[in-house]
Amino acid sequence: MKNLKIAVIPGDGIGKEVVPVAMKVLDTAAEVHGGIKFEFDVFPWSCDYYKEHGKMMPDDGMDILKDHHAIFLGAIGNPAIVPDHVSLWGILIRIRREFEQSVNIRPAKFFKGLKSPLANPKDFDLVVVRENSEGEYSEAGGRIHRGQDEIVIQNAVFTRKGTERAMRYAFELARKRRGHVTSATKSNGIVHSMTFWDEVFNRVRTEYPDVKTASCHIDALAAFFVTKPEMFDVVVASNLFGDILTDIGGAIMGSIGVAPSANINLEGKYPSMFEPVHGSAPDIYGKGIANPIGQIWSAKMMLDHFGEHELGQKLLDVIEEVTNEGIKTPDIGGSSSTYEVGEAICSRLRNL
Ligand code: NAD
Ligand code: IPM
Ligand code: MN
C-alpha cells in the first residue's frame, strides 16, 4: 500500500467548499485503485487565521508542509479582511517560491457536456506552461514621495535559469503531446525582458528540432485563444501572461470554475502544489454552488504527479461523464450543488 501524505489548505471562500468535496473524490479514487491511500493533514491557514494570529501561517508552517508528498490548496483571499497582496504573498506565492515550484501547468480543453461560450469551439486541447517563480511578479521596486509627485517602480525580473527551465519543460511536454510550442512574447513593446525571452526561446528550440514552434505577441495570442484555440498545443508564457491566458482558458471551456493547475517542483526536493486556477469567489461563497471541477481536476493532476496516470484518466473521464449527464453547478448552466456534483463523481468512480 502506497501511503500518500497530503497537506491540505482549503484557504478562504469557496476553497472551503470545493476542497472537502475533492478530498472525498480522492479517497474514493484510492479505494477504487486499492494500492494507494491518502493521509490528509488539513491546515486552517487563511485570512481568518491571519485575523486571529496576524500571519497567514505559523512560523514553522513551511517546515510542516515540507514533510508532505504534495500540497492540495483551495484558494486564498478575503480582501474584506486582509489586503490581497498580504494574504497571497503570505501563503500562495510564498509556497510557490520557497518550494521552487518553478512551473505552473494549466490545461484547457473542449470538455464534453460543457457549453463553451465560443460559437464554434472545435476540439481544442492545450496546456499553458506558466513560468511560476519570477517575471512580472517581483518584490524589486518601491515607492517614494508618497502622495503627490509619487514615484512607483515595479521591476520585472527574468533570469536565464528561470526562463530556460520553463521553456524546456514546455518542449518536453510538447514531445509527449502534439509536438508544438507557442511562445507568448511582447518583444515589440517590452524591449529588455521580452527580447531576452525571445532569444532564449530561439536558442532552446534548437535543442528540440522535432518540435514545431511559433512565437506570438500576447495581445494577438489572447485573441487567438478566443477565435481559434484549436491552433495551440503547448503555450509557454511568463508569470503574468500565463496568469491572464489561463483565465481565458477557463472561460472558453465554459467557466473559470473548471480550470485546474499544478505547481511543480522539478527537482522533487520540495512538495509540488495542486490548486484550481480560480480564486476564493467571495461573490458566491456560502451558497454551496461553487463548481468543484477545477479542484477535482487538480486532484487528477496530483494523481498524475504520483505516477497514477490510469487512475487520473479514469477520474477525468468520470468528470466528463457527470458533466455530460447534466449534473452541473449553475456557472455551467446546471442546478446541482457543489456537494451533488462531488457525490455523482464518487458514485460513478465506485461503479467503474
Ligand atoms: P475568482 O476566480 O475568485 O472569481 C472570478 C469570478 O469567477 C467570480 O464571479 C466567481 O464567482 C467565479 N468563480 C470562480 N470560481 C468559481 C467556481 N469554482 N464556481 C463557480 N464560479 C466561480 O477571482 P477574483 O474575484 O478576482 O478573486 C477573488 C479572491 O480570490 C481575491 O482575493 C483574489 O486575490 C483571490 N484569488 C486567489 C487565487 C488563489 O488562491 N489561487 C486565485 C485567484 C484569485
Ligand atoms: C492564480 C492567481 C494568483 C496569481 C494570484 C491570486 C496572486 O491569480 O494563481 O492564477 O496571479 O498567480
Ligand atoms: Mn490567476
| Ligand 1 site residues, Cβ closer than 6 angstroms | 14, 75-77, 79, 84, 88, 92, 255-257, 275, 278-284, 290-291, 294, 329, 331
Burial of 97 (0-12, 13-18, 19+ CB in 10 A): middle
Spacing, Cα 276 to ligand 3 middle (Å): 9
DSSP symbols for 56-104: SS-TTHHHHHHTSSEEEEEE---TTTS-HHHHHHHTHHHHHHHTTEEEE
Cβ proximity of 253 and 111 under 8 Å: yes
- Grouping H, G, I as helix, E, B as strand and the rest as coil, residue 346 is helix
| Torsional sign, CA 298, 270, 304, 38 | negative
Predicted confidence at residue 173, as pLDDT, reads 98
Helix (H) or strand (E) holding 11: strand 2-11
The pLDDT value recorded for residue 352 is 87
Contact (Cβ atoms closer than 8 angstroms) between residue 45 and residue 11? yes
d(CA 61, CA 40): 16
Contact yes or no for 109/124 (Cβ under 8 A): yes
3-state secondary structure of 260: strand
Domains and CATH numbers, the chain: 1-102+259-352 (3.40.718.10), 116-253 (3.40.718.10)
Ranges of residues in the chain whose predicted pLDDT is under 70: none
CA 240 to ligand 3 center in whole angstroms: 8
Is 107 within 8 Å of 25 (Cβ atoms)?
no
Question: Which residues neighbour 242 within 8 Å (Cβ) at sequence distance 6 or greater?
Answer: 104, 106, 128, 129, 130, 131, 132, 184
Q: What is the pLDDT of residue 126?
A: 98
User: Ligand 2, atom 5: nearest CA belongs to which residue?
Assistant: 88
> CA-CA distances (angstroms) from residue 195 to 61, 171, 190, 201, 212?
39, 20, 7, 10, 20
Whole-prediction pTM: 0.98
CA 149–ligand 2 middle distance (angstroms): 30
Element spanning 193, H or E:
helix 193-204
| Nearest Cα residue to atom 43 of ligand 1 | 279
